[in-house]
Amino acid sequence: MTHSISNINNYTNNILLPNIKYKQSCVAILFSVKTLVYPLDRNQIVHSITHNSQHVYEDNHPLTHAADLLKLLPERVCVVKQSQRNVSLFLGLYVCVSTDGDQCAEQPCKNGAMCSDSVGGYDCICKSGYSGVHCETDQTVCIIDKDKGCSHFCKPGYQSYQCSCALGWKLQQKEKCVPAERFPCGKVSSSIQWENRKSSNVRSEYQGLNCSAEECPWQAVLRISGSSGFCSGVILKDNLILTTAQCVRKYGDFEVAVGKRLLTDEQGEQILYVKQIHVHPLYMESKPDNDLAVVELINRIILKMSVLPACLPNRDLADRLMSEEYMGMVTGWKDSSELYGNLMLNHLSYDKLPTCVERHSGQVTNKMACTMPQPKADCIFGPGSPVVTLHREVFFLTGMVSQFQSVDCRKGYVLQKVSRFLPWLRPLINSL
């Protein structure tokens, strides 16, 4: 809504001002260096005139009574004043004449919303499933973001999306996931701590950092009697470990240890024995993909802050987490003929699939992924090392290192993309 000023009546000095336009509001609008326009209602202007002993003339006859003034004045009046050395000089009384056009003419409302023109603006009446000033937000579309939308998983719906949570978490206030148990999957003690660790890792040019207490709680190690360990793995739940198929085929009999940072005997470690091994049904030793296996344990892991599963994502979340916006983190021990050293972590950037395929000829399929090459990175992590990604203070499992020891990791790690194996993993996890 805009207005122009047209003259009703002037006081002593008849100063004719040009028509101007301004946005309607109840604050002074400057239209020359020393001239101000104030929109007032009839009662306010009558009080101002009588209080300041001003005179209004109609056909050269003075109007002295407030009642006469009220009859004369319209609902809204523009008072024009001029400031001269801190003295306000009353120049004139003007009608605020509406020159409002059709605010809906430019079709500001989106997604088929109806536009309703109103004084000073317009209103958008949204169709079901849309919201926002201009109905620009589709409530049925999932938002996966670092600080808005569903905390974990999102499913599009007819009128609105639906949020859900990972293992050990529950939904609160439609979008937020909160712990449903004492030790839910992927929980971190401090997101600030992890941001600091990432910054430190980047400054070191990705040479790897030691995992401190409770920092890499999902880590598992596969070992045989008298060995420090031959492969890494990751805790999926209290009786399941995920590793690679090539790892479980190395030895006919092995055990699993969790709660470890050192490969020697360590206080708080848990030794677990294998009940059954579930190799991906499409795995072939001559092929690079489908290189995953789930190790089912006889006894159950005792969960605590230093021993926790990593969260499994859904496919949409996993694909988002493996974009350029996020950095992954690989954890494990140094790998030679067997594992050695302390439990370590290293941050990495995911690469796009076409680049992966070109750089690792014959070793990457569309069920796999790879990381950006880091020439100064410490090439230490072997098959079975988990790759996790931090999202909303929760670590999600996004990949498993599956390249053979002969592969040059300075070209980037080759990964099994966990999201592509969810149709196999989830039913298996739920049944065991």
The listed CATH number (2.40.50.320, 3.40.50.2300, 3.40.50.1390, 2.40.10.10) that belongs to domain 192-212+307-424: 2.40.10.10
Is 140:158 a contact under the CB 8 Å cutoff?
A: yes
* Domain regions of the chain by residue span: 2-98, 114-179, 192-212+307-424, 219-297
State both tokens at 424. Answer: 């196999």
Residue 63 pLDDT: 54
- What pLDDT was estimated at residue 131? 80
> Spelled out in words, what is the top-level CATH class assigned to the domain 114-179?
mainly beta
Could you count the other beta carbons within 10 Å of the beta carbon of residue 229?
Answer: 23
Q: What is the Cα–Cα distance from 384 to 291, expressed in whole angstroms?
A: 9
* pTM for the structure as a whole: 0.69
Euclidean distance between CA atoms 246 and 403, whole angstroms:
10
Q: Which SS3 state, helix, strand or coil, does residue 233 take?
A: strand
β pairing state of 293-297 and 240-243: antiparallel
What pLDDT score was predicted for residue 207? Answer: 76
Query: Residue 86 region, left (φ>0) first, then alpha (ψ -120 to 50), else beta?
Result: left
Q: How does pLDDT run across 257-277, given as a tens digit for each residue?
A: 999 998 888 888 999 999 999
Q: What is the CA radius of gyration of the chain?
A: 36
Three-state SS string over 47-83 comes to HHHHHCCCCEEECCEEECCHHHHHHHCCCEEEEEEEE
Structure confidence at residue 208 (pLDDT): 79
Segment 190-200, tens digit of pLDDT: 777 788 888 87
Residues 297 and 241: their CA atoms lie apart, in Å, by 8
Taking the C-alpha atoms of residue 366 and residue 132, their distance in angstroms, rounded to an integer, is 38
* CATH of region 219-297: 2.40.10.10
Positions of the chain with pLDDT lower than 70, given as ranges: 1-101, 119-120, 144-146, 158-159, 336, 375-379, 404-409
In contact, 219 and 241? CB cutoff 8 Å: no
Give the pLDDT confidence score for residue 51 in this predicted structure: 60
- Compute the distance between CA of residue 412 and CA of residue 415 in angstroms, rounded to an integer: 10
Q: Rounded to an integer, what distance in angstroms lies between the CA atom of residue 145 and that of residue 303? A: 29
User: Which tokens sit at 411?
Assistant: 């070209």
Pull the structure tokens for residue 160.
């609105």
Question: pLDDT at position 264, please?
Answer: 84
Amino acid code (one letter) for 371: T
